[in-house]
Amino acid sequence: MPEVFLATRNAKKLGELRRILEPLVPGIAVLGLDDVSAYDEPVEDAPTFAGNALLKARAGVLATGLPSLADDSGICVDALNGMPGVLSARWSGQPKSDDRNNALLLDQLADVPDERRAAHFACALAFAWPDAAADGGVAEEVVTGEMHGRVARSLSGTGGFGYDVLFVPDGCDVTSAELTPEQKDAISHRGKALRAMAPRVVDVLAGR
């Protein structure tokens, strides 16, 4: 059975990757952090989504020996000059809390009119795999995806995670958290990045 490692404990991210890769690699096993022996996870201190994703993917392949994927993503709000950006998951401080992050973002945008609440989700997806011909024996690639929309004025929906309950994608009249998993996969920043990377994953697993 072909195996690929995704450096996350987020069950919804793992499910998303399985849904996208399964038609391309029937029977593929997508493993997460809870499925492998514990290792020292890197501190996500890079200033960019791509930098943080690469840190996690490199650590994953070195620790597991498996082709490894990792993403870093967040919401970038125009009225906040692109913030929270790479700080999205810890926007309200430690410990990480989606509820506190959403409450803080709503408070920061309380006086911002609807026409200035544009935002987008950004995702950088890194893939690292064993390759004797590459520097350090590991080859790597990064792709990106974006989903544009706006920040709503109140929380809505029970699906998704993070800021999904506040984000209304362009062309929709509901939040990301109110879309079905299939609807969200089709337009999401992470779905776009995963589909862009899927052919490379297939090639590596096939030994091409």
Tell me the binding residues for substrate.
8-13, 73, 161-164, 184, 189-190
b/e sequence 160-188, b meaning 16+ C-beta within 10 Å: bebbbbbbbbeeeeebbbbbeeebbbebb
Binding site listing: 8-13, 72-73, 161-164, 184, 189-190
> Is 51:25 a contact under the CB 8 Å cutoff?
no
Structure-token match 């399985």, residue found: 18
207 phi and psi angles, rounded to 5 deg: 80, 20
Measured distance CA(104)–CA(92) in Å, rounded: 7
Measure the CA dihedral 175/178/180/182, to 10°: 10
Measure the CA dihedral 197/186/124/73, to 10°: -150
Name the active-site residue from 34, 40, 72, 114.
72
Catalytic residue list contains 107:
no
Type of residue found at 199: P
Structure-token match 């994608």, residue found: 169
User: Which residues carry out catalysis?
Assistant: 72
